[in-house]
Amino acid sequence: MNKSLNIMRSSLRLTFQELKVNKLRTVLSLIGVAFGIFCIVGVLATVNSFEVNLQNEIKSLGSNTIFIDRWDYSGGPDKPMWKYRARPVMKYEEASLIMKRTQLLDAASFVVRDAENVSYGDNVVQNSSVYGVTESQSIIQPMRFESGRYISDVEFNSGSAVALIGFDNAEKLFGIASRALGKEIEMKGKKITIVGVFIKEGKNFVGWDYDNCVMIPYNLCKQLIDVDNSNPVIIAKGKEGVATTAVQAELEGVMRQIRRLSPTTEDNFTLNSVEAFSKAVTGLFGIVDLVGALIGVISLIVGMFGIANIMFVTVKERTPVIGLKKAIGAKSRSILFEFLMEAAILCLLGGFIGLIFVYILTLVLSGPLNFPVFISVPLLIATVILCIVVGILAGIFPASRAAKLDPVVAIRS
């Protein structure tokens, strides 16, 4: 144990001496490793961060949730667009019929989506996202409020002129979001009282744009918006512990019954599973990760040859020292370990430089992307292991050559 520690200390000392003596040669070789690590870790960190953010947004659509729509969100089979357009839109009555005829659902919500101008005094938000929803929407997609409350059952049933407003919309209309509570906004000539302000969610690539929305009861929405032309959807949430496939199978049968489709008639609706969408995203990012890793590996191989070159030169320069060590009793495996250790240390230094550049990249990207770009702990551990492996591979041939040197020939050289 002590001998191994002594070899390690000696190897560290010699490595840093080499760095000082041959600065240019070392830097040029380390750049290859640093660039390779930067490519691999930079791409994987950015892609993984984007995937985590996207998956979180998908989860915000609701767990074990299925969107019933005339459109297929995945792009669907090779079906012409006119066939989707020809399908009937979802109907409000269908949501209640679904709940009566299914056994596996917790809730089903009818949702209308549109874009309308919303104003308060002279302040106007153009094309704000307007959601007309039913009572069960909060069960399917839990909501968080900066202030205020959800719409009550009485307000839903009566179609009261009340609304929930997104944080950004509240700031645009009132300056400070908290001032929105209790105020009356105007939409299509209708005065609507704000009863709740959503907490700020941040930029959203998928799902609901809560920051820039106005959410109103469906019975109010149908007075202001042409529901059939707004492509309404029904969102169904399965019971806890029930498989999404089982929920989907039951829903397909129920929807066919409601729409009175014969056994030979194809579905005129699509069941878009959030779980299936999540799996598709995972598969897509897996391919992107692989491509990014391959690009990085090519760069890392170039760096590995640079480290190998350094080690061959180092072995040649230290040949007399190696001969002397072997002459006084150093074993071949000790020499082998010493040079492998040195190669691994050089690679780790290159990897550390690469990680510094990746960290700078994460700081630069986090702002414009509007979500944190980070280096995960597993990725960091994998980087350290990768550097050690690359160092050993780069140093194995030079180290073997050093270990096999004849002491007498080495000293004379």
Q: Report how far apart, in Å, the C-alpha atoms of 310 and of each of 260, 314, 335, 339, 399 are.
A: 77, 6, 16, 11, 11
Does the residue 152 lie in any domain?
Answer: yes
Q: Into how many domains does the chain fold?
A: 2
* Final residue of a structural domain among 234, 268, 302: 268
Does the residue 80 lie in any domain?
Answer: no
Give the separation between CA 307 and CA 33, rounded to whole angstroms. Answer: 8
User: Within this chain, do residues 305 and 331 fall inside the same structural domain, yes or no?
Assistant: yes
Which bin fits 72, alpha (ψ -120 to 50), beta or left (φ > 0)?
beta
Does the residue 187 lie in any domain?
Answer: yes
pLDDT in tens, 252-306: 999 999 999 998 999 899 998 877 777 777 777 778 777 777 777 777 777 777 7
Does the residue 64 lie in any domain?
Answer: no
User: Within this chain, do residues 296 and 249 fall inside the same structural domain, yes or no?
Assistant: no
Three-state secondary structure of 81-138: HHHHHHCCCCCHHHHHHHHHHCCCEEEEEEEEEEEEEEEECCEEEEEEEEEEECCCHH
* Final residue of a structural domain among 212, 240, 268: 268
User: Within this chain, do residues 402 and 310 fall inside the same structural domain, yes or no?
Assistant: yes
User: Within this chain, do residues 115 and 214 fall inside the same structural domain, yes or no?
Assistant: yes
Amino acid at residue number 368: P
Does the residue 195 lie in any domain?
Answer: yes
User: Within this chain, do residues 203 and 127 fall inside the same structural domain, yes or no?
Assistant: yes
DSSP 200: P
User: Within this chain, do residues 261 and 300 fall inside the same structural domain, yes or no?
Assistant: no
Give the separation between CA 231 and CA 248, rounded to whole angstroms. Answer: 21
User: Within this chain, do residues 359 and 405 fall inside the same structural domain, yes or no?
Assistant: yes
User: Within this chain, do residues 374 and 259 fall inside the same structural domain, yes or no?
Assistant: no
Average pLDDT over residues 203-225: 84
Domain that holds residue 30: 2-57+279-412
Kindly indicate the confidence band of residue 3, based on its pLDDT and cuts at 50, 70 and 90: low
Average pLDDT over residues 138-146: 87
User: Within this chain, do residues 308 and 346 fall inside the same structural domain, yes or no?
Assistant: yes
Does the residue 76 lie in any domain?
Answer: no
* Final residue of a structural domain among 220, 236, 268: 268
Give the separation between CA 225 and CA 92, rounded to whole angstroms. Answer: 14
User: Within this chain, do residues 214 and 151 fall inside the same structural domain, yes or no?
Assistant: yes
Bridge partners of 163, per DSSP, are: 194
User: Within this chain, do residues 161 and 234 fall inside the same structural domain, yes or no?
Assistant: yes
pLDDT for position 78: 63
Does the residue 81 lie in any domain?
Answer: no
pLDDT in tens, 4-61: 566 567 666 766 676 666 677 677 777 778 888 887 888 888 888 887 777 777 776 6
User: Within this chain, do residues 260 and 284 fall inside the same structural domain, yes or no?
Assistant: no
- Please determine, for residue 197, whether its predicted confidence score (pLDDT) is greater than 90: yes
pLDDT in tens, 366-408: 877 777 888 888 888 888 888 888 888 888 888 788 777 776 6
pLDDT in tens, 72-124: 877 655 667 778 888 899 999 999 999 999 999 989 999 999 999 999 988 99
